[in-house]
Amino acid sequence: MEKLSSVYASALFNLAVEGGAVEEFLDQATFVHDTLKDAECLRIFYHPHINAAEKREFFGKMFAGYIHDDLLGLLYLVIDKNREAYLLPALLALIDMIKRHQNKVTAKVVSAAAFNESQIAALEALLSKKLDKRVEVALKVDPTVIGGPHIYVDGRYLDRTVKGRLRSMTASLAGS
């Protein structure tokens, strides 16, 4: 499945670059991906008793005029070929390709408390400087980490949570 999704993503990426619409494709692929993750859309998209024509009509009304014809064409292609399972991975791969092309990465940050806008901007600036890439922060609040953040970005993981430090101390004491 991953190979065909990559083929779809590569084709769309090449069309975006050739057409000078890379940023447009990024925004629209993200929009389609997030929309299709909705439970009701997923139910319709994967339902075996809803035929391809009905799916095309439904998603055509939903996306036509809002997304590039090439993205809509991929949506129709996977519906017509009964390959719906390939679309979300293809969109994620396309988003990743575009971000790499633009030298962007997303830092997944989990913290016990929400950050304000200035804290997010400061973290983005710090990580951008350290990684020499444009960094966008995706923050998730999880009170179970007790305090401090853990950050996953560009294949790197940094745990500065109280929970992580307690786990580390426990392992250290157990080893003594």
Mention every residue, 6+ apart, whose C-beta is less than 8 A from residue 44.
50, 55, 58
Contact 134, 102 (CB under 8 A): yes
Cα–Cα distances in angstroms (integers) from residue 19 to residues 15, 141, 155, in the given order:
6, 39, 31
- Of the pLDDT bands very low, low, confident and very high (cuts 50, 70, 90), residue 174 is confident
What's the gap between Cα 40 and its chain centre?
20
Backbone angles phi, psi at 21, to 5 degrees: -120, 35
Q: What confidence score (pLDDT) does residue 1 get? A: 60
Fold of 104-175: Glutaredoxin (3.40.30)
Q: What confidence score (pLDDT) does residue 176 get? A: 64
Q: Domain locations in the chain?
A: 2-100, 104-175
- Of the pLDDT bands very low, low, confident and very high (cuts 50, 70, 90), residue 2 is confident
Here the tokens at position 171 are 């392992």
pTM for the whole structure:
0.74
pLDDT in tens, 121-168: 999 999 999 999 999 999 999 988 888 888 999 888 988 888 888 888
Average pLDDT over residues 38-60: 89
Average pLDDT over residues 6-25: 94
Cα–Cα distances in angstroms (integers) from residue 5 to residues 22, 88, 93, 168, in the given order:
19, 8, 7, 39
Stretch (H or E) spanning 87: helix 87-101
> Helices then strands (H, E): number in the chain?
8, 4
Where is average pLDDT lowest: 37-41, 88-92, 98-102, 130-134? 37-41
Tell me how far apart the alpha carbons of residues 170 and 61 are, in angstroms, rounded to a whole number: 56
CATH class of 2-100: mainly alpha
- Regarding beta strands 104-111 and 134-141, do their DSSP bridges make them parallel or antiparallel, or are they unpaired? parallel
pLDDT in tens, 96-123: 999 989 999 999 999 989 999 999 999 9
Residue 76 has pLDDT above 70, yes or no: yes
Contact 90, 8 (CB under 8 A): yes
Here the tokens at position 3 are 């190979």
